[in-house]
Homo-oligomer: A and B are copies of this chain.
């Protein structure tokens, strides 16, 4: 790992492979003006390489562009500034992501879907039990009693038994919730080694899938794509609305199933395996996504008094959902707690092991919706926060999803108020995604362009601060540098939306904690779930009051816990039962019904909060 010394600040930085100098500087909170997103067109991010070798283009005889230069050795890099003793160094806030927590279980893998090998004694005239009775007795000896079987199985049985002299492999699924066995298939000989599963997270926006070996737990492939239902509605509410149209529900179900089938085939291509090798598919999704996937009527989820068709799901044949051609491939779903606390959260609680450990943990899943869980092995309490889609770029003028060209990190120079931006894929900026929005608001607040109430400081005169058609705004990218040919701006209205969203989240933490007689300071851990949690900058999120101001070591990002929980349910046989227990154990609080909620919410509509004592480290 190379090292860079940044002058004039004398800051030592470590270099990750393939990082540009702009990205490294951004991580360390070192400001370099940059407005083209890393595409190399604005020529503003000029730096001088004083020592070492780089890959990059020399301009004007002595500069390199930070956004297009990659270290090839240890370096000394000088950033041209007016004065050696620059205030920037003092104001520097290095980006700090939460620590990654790798979610793994210590226990050995034991899937609920087992392949079991039997060498049965062939019948004799003295002991000529029927084939099925012979097998049933062998199963009984393995404590597999009263399994459900179907006609296909019985039809196959006599042939298969006699193919390899009564040596057979059985496909057996055990549903821990009913302690019930299902005998699904029979093959001759020893076929135990072929046993694949697919874990699926059905997000409102994104589908994520992993192909897993059910014997070893090894992940053989991963893939991801947008949920094709997006074309019929960005959020759960608009999808429920669409489902009310004639055949709307059927269409939404078909769309997501077709896409999943396609993605499963992609997994198989990557891993060079066959569709018929998949025996178990484990799904986690929020309540609406689970309903739509199964073609269950979702409208009562959103109509008062908010009733799901179901919160727990039977085992379903994957063939019936068009995901397999084999009758014996099963689909299991993570149970939901309530209309807006779904299987993704149950899966998340399971994956994060909160309910099995002592520390009081705040679990935050900031996806298209914001759900929170607080608890430990003794109790769990949860709520859905009506945070809206701001953290995914929704309701923000130039907000966008975290795709190519989205501004994902921002730094604003405290002296010049000039921005430094980084886009996803180093493309010309098209808009701002969730982490960029938080980053931008935190920076605007920190350099003093936005006040505690979330309003622009109109007394500061700067070319980027102006009154636009939607009121006051900060121009983050001039149209010359943007991919859209328009200025990319951040309006006061955007700020208001973002503050409402983070206020709803923070009031949520407080209500949940209050309901059990605790406060924010009692939290021992904060778990950030969802891909969002992976990219969020802790300091910035705390600066705007989205996350509580706790010791930074208490924060962990967990990645996609919905997917991980779905995978646990593939690999550990009691998972569905544990999920059911979590659902039963978890008290659900309907925040809007809670008397103090409005007070807490109103108090949180400031940066970082009306009550500054809650955010001692945020000193502006």
Chain A residues near B (Cβ < 8 Å):
123-125, 128-133, 146, 148-151, 154-155, 157-159, 162, 177-178, 180, 294-297, 299-300, 304-314, 316, 320, 336, 338-339, 590, 593
Contact = CB atoms under 8 A, between A and B. Distances in A.
Given A151-B320, A155-B294, A307 B131 contact: yes
25 contacts: A123-B307, A125-B304, A125-B593, A128-B305, A128-B307, A128-B338, A128-B339, A130-B308, A130-B311, A130-B336, A131-B300, A131-B307, A132-B312, A133-B310, A149-B314, A150-B314, A150-B316, A151-B294, A151-B316, A154-B310, A154-B313, A154-B314, A158-B309, A159-B297, A180-B180
Contacts of A130: 307-312, 336
Tally of this chain's copies: 2
A549 B338 CA distance: 75
Nearest to A300: B158
Residue among A150, A305, A311, A593 with most chain B CB within 10 A: A305
A133 B130 CA distance: 40
A479 B136 CA distance: 60
A339 B123 CA distance: 13
Nearest to A131: B309
A128 to B, nearest CB: 4
Given A154-B294, A155-B294, 17 more contacts: A125-B593, A128-B305, A128-B307, A128-B338, A130-B309, A130-B311, A130-B336, A131-B300, A131-B307, A131-B309, A132-B311, A146-B177, A146-B178, A151-B295, A155-B297, A157-B309, A158-B309
Nearest to A331: B151
A180 B179 CA distance: 12
Contacts of A310: 130-133, 154, 157
Contacts of A308: 130-131
Nearest to A177: B146
Given A151-B320, A294-B151, A129 B307 contact: yes
Nearest to A136: B312
A304 B306 CA distance: 64
Contacts of A149: 314
Nearest to A153: B314
Nearest to A146: B178
A154 B311 contact: no
A305 B124 contact: yes
A299 B314 CA distance: 37
A309 B146 contact: no
A154 to B, nearest CB: 6
B125 A305 contact: yes
A158 B296 contact: yes
Nearest to A306: B128
A293 to B, nearest CB: 11
A151 B332 CA distance: 12
A192 B316 CA distance: 28
A133 B308 CA distance: 9
Nearest to A311: B130
The 4 closest A-B pairs by CB, nearest first: A132-B310, A130-B308, A125-B305, A130-B311
Contacts of A314: 148-151, 154
A549 B130 CA distance: 37
A154 B312 CA distance: 10
Nearest to A135: B310
Contacts of A309: 130-132, 154-155, 157-158
Contacts of A338: 128
A515 to B, nearest CB: 16
A309 B154 CA distance: 7
